[in-house]
Amino acid sequence: MSWRGIIEAYRPFLPVSNKTPVVTLNEGNTPLIFSPRLSEMVGREASVYIKYEGLNPTGSFKDRGMTVAISRAIEKGSRAVICASTGNTSAAAAAYAARAGIDCFVLLPKGKIARGKLAQALMCGAKVIALRGNFDDALRLVRDIGENYPVAIVNSTNQDRIEGQKTAAFEIVDVLGEAPDYHFLPVGNAGNITAYWKGYREWREAGRSKKLPKMMGFEAAGAAPIFHEKVIKKPDTVATAIRIGNPASWKQAEMAISQSHGLMDIVTDDEILAAQKWLAMNDGIFVEPASAASIAGLIKCLGKASCRKCPLAAELRASLLPKAVTIVCTVTGHGLKDPDVVDLHHLKPVTVWPSRDRVIKAMGLSL
Ligand code: AN7
């Protein structure tokens, strides 16, 4: 039977009943792609897999949570939803709200949303309000408005979002037949790392796996409140999706890290861009900058010395790594979301007149 979205696939584990009207775009069931080169970089028969969440219907992992959040909002009689967003949540909310035939309001930091995401929200009919402020201002206002007006909040402060997003962990265990040893994720509002940890624990309780992964979260260096243990007033990073200074799921993320004996660390914009380029050039997987934070994090850990608190680096140093270590890196959003980033990589086409000789020369071949 064809795939009908995460609610139909994992219904007993989600907060839905037979009465819930399912609003779906057939999200989920995204590929888990083996990366030969990353595996080789880790060494010792390691297997590194990329969970490619950019292949969801709106191009990010947000669709998993949004199918549950919008379905439940409709069930409760909501006729409008609202979210604060660095872009991807707004694209998903707009799409699922359009599908459900309800209004969608999104509050965004002006000028800090990747072009593709803004286009998606506008095209799907959301009322887009650009704030002269940052994401944290937007979330504060959304919480206030959601409490005082008849609009349902679909940020990850809404538990239905976390419930939907945990299904990515289910899928990984179902494909591998066991949980990985390490799971690398970018961290912004910290909803996703919370959701994965919940998913891994529930799937183990359901008897689908024996172990739990160490959760490895990576914030952008200029927007790293959890790492620095303080609110960042003016977060800044090239990875606009994770430009967040006061994450909603802060405490839950700290729990996931400590319970799993994992790590919360930072990656610089240069490391993020280098990892984004590396993944595109070596694995053919083009992701948006924020998504590359998980890959940058893995590469940082492999640099051993630089990552003192890192359990993976420690295992590598001490040669303790189980021989066939399994690592999953989630890449959260598609590269097409943020096409302008190509300029930061100084990549552009070669322009020539349409003659055979010019083209042959441009190809680098001899005439
Ligand atoms: C590509 O869209 O917060 O730690 O408003 O778009 O669960 O927040 C996006 C976050 C990682 C971080 N990668 O996930 C939003 C928003 C991408 C993202 C994250 C986001 P969380």
Instruction: Tell me the pLDDT tens digit for each residue of 245-261.
Output: 999 999 999 999 999 99
- Tens-binned pLDDT, residue by residue, of the chain (367 aa): 799 999 999 999 999 999 999 999 999 999 999 999 999 999 878 999 999 999 999 999 999 999 999 999 999 999 999 999 999 999 999 999 999 999 999 999 999 999 999 999 999 999 999 999 999 999 999 999 999 999 999 998 999 999 999 999 999 999 999 999 999 999 999 999 999 999 999 999 999 999 999 999 999 999 999 999 999 999 999 999 999 999 999 999 999 999 999 999 999 999 999 999 999 999 999 999 999 999 999 999 998 655 678 888 888 777 777 678 999 999 999 999 999 999 999 999 999 999 999 999 999 998 7
Q: Whose CA is nearest to atom 14 of ligand 1?
A: 188
Answer yes or no: is the C-beta of 109 below 6 A from any ligand 1 atom. Answer: no
**What residues are paired with 104 via a beta bridge?**
81
Strand order of the β-sheet with 80-84 is 127-131, 103-109, 80-84, 152-153
Asked if 243 and 109 count as a contact pair (C-beta separation under 8 A), the reply is: yes
Candidate of 51, 131, 194, 242 to mutate for ligand 1, largest count of ligand atoms within 8 Å of Cβ: 242
Tally of residues, the chain: 367
Answer yes or no: is the C-beta of 155 below 6 A from any ligand 1 atom. Answer: no
Tell me what pLDDT residue 349 has. 95
Tell me what pLDDT residue 367 has. 79
Distance CA 356, CA 9 (A): 54
Q: Which residue reads 């206002």 in tokens? A: 141
Distance CA 63, CA 290 (A): 17
Distance CA 113, CA 87 (A): 6
Tell me what pLDDT residue 313 has. 84
**Ligand 1 centroid from CA 367, angstroms:** 49
**What residues are paired with 266 via a beta bridge?**
219
Looking from the CA of residue 83, the nearest atom of ligand 1 is 5
Answer yes or no: is the C-beta of 189 below 6 A from any ligand 1 atom. Answer: yes
Here the contacts of 356-359 (C-beta below 8 Å, separation 24 or greater) are none
Helix/strand/coil (H/E/C) assignment for every residue in the chain:
CCCCCHHHHHHHHCCCCCCCCCCCCCCCCCCEEECHHHHHHHCCCCEEEEEEHHHCCCCECHHHHHHHHHHHHHHCCCCEEEEECCCHHHHHHHHHHHHHCCEEEEEEECCCCCHHHHHHHHHCCCEEEEECCCHHHHHHHHHHHHHHCCCEECCCCCHHHHHHHCHHHHHHHHHHCCCCCEEEEECCCCHHHHHHHHHHHHHHHCCCCCCCCEEEEEEEHHHCHHHHCCCCCCCCCCCHHHCCCCCCCHHHHHHHHHHHCCEEEEECHHHHHHHHHHHHHHHCCCECHHHHHHHHHHHHHHCHHHCCCCHHHHHHHCCCCCCCCEEEEEECEEHHHCHHHHHCCCCCCCCCCCCHHHHHHHCCCCC
Answer yes or no: is the C-beta of 237 below 6 A from any ligand 1 atom. Answer: no
**Ligand 1 centroid from CA 364, angstroms:** 41
Q: Whose CA is nearest to atom 18 of ligand 1?
A: 241
**What residues are paired with 80 via a beta bridge?**
103
Looking from the CA of residue 188, the nearest atom of ligand 1 is 4
